[in-house]
C-alpha cells in the first residue's frame, strides 16, 4: 500500500531570515496506513510542528512532504476550539461544510455524540462544558467526518485523571474502528509514556527538531537496546533528560 505520509529531509523554520527559529531539521520518515505512531520528546522538540506539517497547517522550508491526496484527515488539538453554539451544532457545522444538508448534518452530529456518550448534552453551550467533555466533543467532531488519518496534539495533557482515561479509551476505540474497511492511521504527540505504550505501535523520539529514534513500541521501551543505540532516548524515558 502507498504510504499516508512520506517526508524526505523536511525542515521547518519560523521567523525572518537571519534570525529564524528551526523547528524541524531534515526529518525523513514514512508512515504507512493503519500505523499508530507516537511522537515523544521534551517541550519544544518539534512534535507539534511535525503534526502541523503532516496536516498542512505548516509548510516545509526545505525538503519534501508527500501525503496521500485522497486520505481524509482530522486533527485534534490539546485545547479544542469550540464555537459559541450548541454541542450538536459544533459538530454539524463540520459536516455541513463537507457538503451535507443541514438536517442530515444534525443527524450525523447526534450519532457522533452518542458514540462518545454525550448525546444528552447535545443542546448545551459547547463552551460551558468541562475540559474532558469538550475534548470528547472534539473527538466526536473528528469521528463524524470519518477520517482515515487522525492527528492528535497532546489530547489529554490538560485533563484530570478520569477525563484522561475516558478520552484515551475513545481514541483507542476510534483507531481500532475501520473507516471504509481500512484501519485508521493514528499519529499523536504525548508526554504520557503509559499512554504511548497503550496506544502506539511505533514511537518517534525528537530532540531539537531532529528524529533521534524511530522504533517499534516494544523496542523503544527496551532499556538495554536504548542504552546501546539511543542514549538520548534512554535519558528521556528514564526522566533524566537535561
Inter-CA distances, 237 with 29, 35, 104, 154, Å: 22, 22, 47, 17
pLDDT greater than 50 at residue 188: yes
pLDDT greater than 50 at residue 179: no
- β-sheet bridge partners, residue 67: 5
Q: Which residue has the cell 481524509?
A: 72
**C-alpha cell of residue 40:** 515523544
Q: For residue 177, what pLDDT band results from cuts at 50, 70 and 90?
A: low
pLDDT digits (tens, 9 = 90+) for 97-107: 999 999 999 99
What residues does each domain of the chain span? 1-72+148-242, 81-145
**Average pLDDT value for the chain:** 92
Distance of alpha carbon 29 from alpha carbon 109, whole angstroms: 35
Distance of alpha carbon 215 from alpha carbon 47, whole angstroms: 16
pLDDT greater than 80 at residue 51: yes
Distance of alpha carbon 33 from alpha carbon 69, whole angstroms: 13
Rg value, the chain, Cα: 18
pLDDT greater than 60 at residue 125: yes
Q: What proportions of the chain, in percent to the nearest 5, are helix, strand and coil?
A: 40, 25, 35
pLDDT greater than 50 at residue 79: yes
pLDDT above 70: percentage of residues in the chain: 97
**Which CATH number among 3.40.50.300, 3.50.50.60, 3.40.50.2300, 3.40.30.10 corresponds to the domain 1-72+148-242?**
3.40.50.300
- Report yes or no: 109 and 118 within 8 Å, Cβ to Cβ: no
The reported pLDDT for the residue numbered 157 is 87
How many C-alpha atoms does 211 have within 13 Å on its Cβ side? 19
pLDDT above 90: percentage of residues in the chain: 81
- Report yes or no: 129 and 166 within 8 Å, Cβ to Cβ: no
**C-alpha cell of residue 106:** 444534525
The reported pLDDT for the residue numbered 242 is 58
DSSP state of 109: H
Tell me which residue of 206, 241, 214 sits closest to 48, measured CA to CA: 206
pLDDT greater than 90 at residue 84: yes
The reported pLDDT for the residue numbered 176 is 76
- β-sheet bridge partners, residue 215: 203
Amino acid at each position: 500500500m502507498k504510504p499516508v505520509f512520506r517526508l524526505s529531509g523536511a525542515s521547518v523554520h519560523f521567523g525572518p531570515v537571519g534570525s529564524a527559529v528551526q523547528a524541524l531539521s531534515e526529518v525523513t520518515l514514512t508512515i504507512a496506513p493503519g500505523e499508530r505512531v507516537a511522537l515523544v520528546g521534551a517541550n519544544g522538540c518539534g512534535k507539534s510542528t511535525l503534526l502541523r506539517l503532516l496536516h498542512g497547517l505548516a509548510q516545509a522550508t526545505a525538503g519534501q512532504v508527500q501525503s496521500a491526496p485522497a486520505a481524509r484527515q482530522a486533527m485534534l488539538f490539546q485545547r479544542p476550539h469550540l464555537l459559541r453554539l450548541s454541542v450538536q451544532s459544533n459538530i454539524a457545522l463540520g459536516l455541513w461544510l463537507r457538503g451535507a444538508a443541514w438536517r442530515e448534518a444534525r443527524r450525523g452530529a447526534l450519532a457522533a455524540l452518542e458514540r462518545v456518550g454525550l448525546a444528552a448534552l447535545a443542546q448545551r453551550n459547547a463552551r460551558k462544558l468541562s475540559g474532558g467533555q469538550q475534548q470528547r466533543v472534539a473527538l466526536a467532531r473528528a469521528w463524524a467526518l470519518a477520517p482515515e488519518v487522525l492527528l492528535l496534539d497532546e489530547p489529554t495533557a490538560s485533563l484530570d485523571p478520569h477525563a484522561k482515561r475516558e478520552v484515551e479509551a475513545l481514541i483507542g476505540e476510534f483507531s481500532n474502528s475501520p473507516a471504509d474497511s481500512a484501519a485508521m492511521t493514528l499519529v499523536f504527540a504525548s508526554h504520557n509514556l503509559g499512554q504511548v505504550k497503550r496506544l502506539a505501535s511505533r514511537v518517534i523520539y525528537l530532540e531539537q527538531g531532529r528524529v533521534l529514534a524511530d522504533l517499534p513500541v516494544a523496542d523503544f521501551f527496551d532499556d538495554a537496546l536504548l542504552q546501546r543505540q539511543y542514549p538520548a532516548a534512554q535519558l528521556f524515558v528514564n526522566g533524566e533528560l537535561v
